[in-house]
Amino acid sequence: MLQKKIKIGNLTTENNFFLAPLAGFSDFAMREICLEYGAGLTFTEMVSCKGILYDNENTKDLLCTSPREKIKCAQIFGNDPEIMRRAIESEYLSGFDVIDINFGCPMPKIYNNGEGSALLANPSLAEKIVYECSKTGKPITCKMRIGITDGKFVTEDFVKAIQNGGAKMITVHGRTRDKIYAGEPNYGEIAKAKKVASVPIIANGGIFTKQDAEVMIKRTGADGVMIARGALERPWIFAELLGNNISVDKKILINGHIDRLLTKYDDKTVAIIFRKQLCLYLKGEKNSAELKQKLFTYKDTASIKNELERFFK
């Protein structure tokens, strides 16, 4: 596995294996866990620039960071260059070292608003956004898809545009918007991005094992990989990529995850918000369907922990 450091402007990451921004999942606790397993960089989930400027409480919560993050990256979305620059200049984002711009979100609510992946159809506006955001002095990175509709790829032109705007690193999710998260990533398009780019290219899509990551780097020439769903199910994938021998005790991992969340939220909130992540941790465990049903009725973390104690005996 080709391990190397990545330069983002004046900053240098520990390695080239990154945790993706994941709405509803890549909060401070998940980012801490992935960093402890060795992730080279992590990102907050996408936050709305308008939400930031309108002082939305929920947005503030999403931007909670951990001291473990040596380089703090927030991902933002929007479509108005000035509003986006002002959001970066606001106190909400002042503690972040890197700002990543979302040019990939496929969800109708975002897309129909001309944000996320909709901007793939408007490279000149995307360039303006990156240019305006770069005026803040913070390194701006971008995460893009390879097009909106399969077969109609925009990769090279879009990479050139955002690079021209000042992007310091570009993550390419090798799928079009209409594929959402399904199917094999298009290695050829990511390879094209790498050919036209002068900044680091990080490849994303369909990496669930070390072998997937090796294939991705080999076939695209990308400088690094970004892992999303694979890391939610198996955050220790970063240790595997680094060749670090670890033994994973799921019960300890889950209990530790709950304890991290309890430093920020009250017990009932944790019991409820942790359910979807718990489901992913239990994926593949024998007889876990019944367990999940039971766990989902609990509204306190002690009951969840007791149930897991019995399950993992």
Ligand X SMILES: Cc1cc2nc3c(=O)[nH]c(=O)nc-3n(C[C@H](O)[C@H](O)[C@H](O)COP(=O)(O)O)c2cc1C
Give the footprint of ligand X on this chain (CB under 6 A).
Answer: 20-25, 45-46, 75, 102, 104-105, 143, 173, 181, 204-207, 227-230
d(CA 153, CA 163): 17
Q: Give Cα separations from 291 to 275, 285, 306 (angstroms).
A: 12, 10, 12
> For residues 46 and 308, which CB has a smaller minimum distance to ligand X in the complex?
46
Q: Least distance (Å) from ligand X to the CB of residue 255? A: 23
Which residue, 85 or 143, is less far from ligand X as judged by CB?
143
Catalytic, 279? Answer: no
Using the minimum distance from each CB to ligand X, give the nearer residue, 101 or 270.
101
Q: Are 155 and 172 in contact (CB under 8 A)?
A: yes
Alpha helices by DSSP H, listed for 108-244, are 108-111, 123-134, 155-165, 187-196, 210-220, 229-233, 237-242
Cα–Cα dist 155/172, whole Å = 8
Write down the least CB distance from residue 80 to ligand X, Å. Answer: 19
User: Which one is catalytic: 105, 133, 142, 279?
Assistant: 105
Minimum separation from the CB atom of position 75 to ligand X (A): 5
> Which residues lie across from 202 on neighbouring strands?
171, 224
The CB-of-312 to ligand X minimum distance in angstroms stands at: 26
| Closest by CA position to 222, among listed 234, 212, 232, 231 | 212
- Nearer to ligand X by C-beta: 110 or 271? 110
Q: Kindly state the DSSP code that residue 278 receives in the 8-state scheme.
A: H
Active site residues: 105
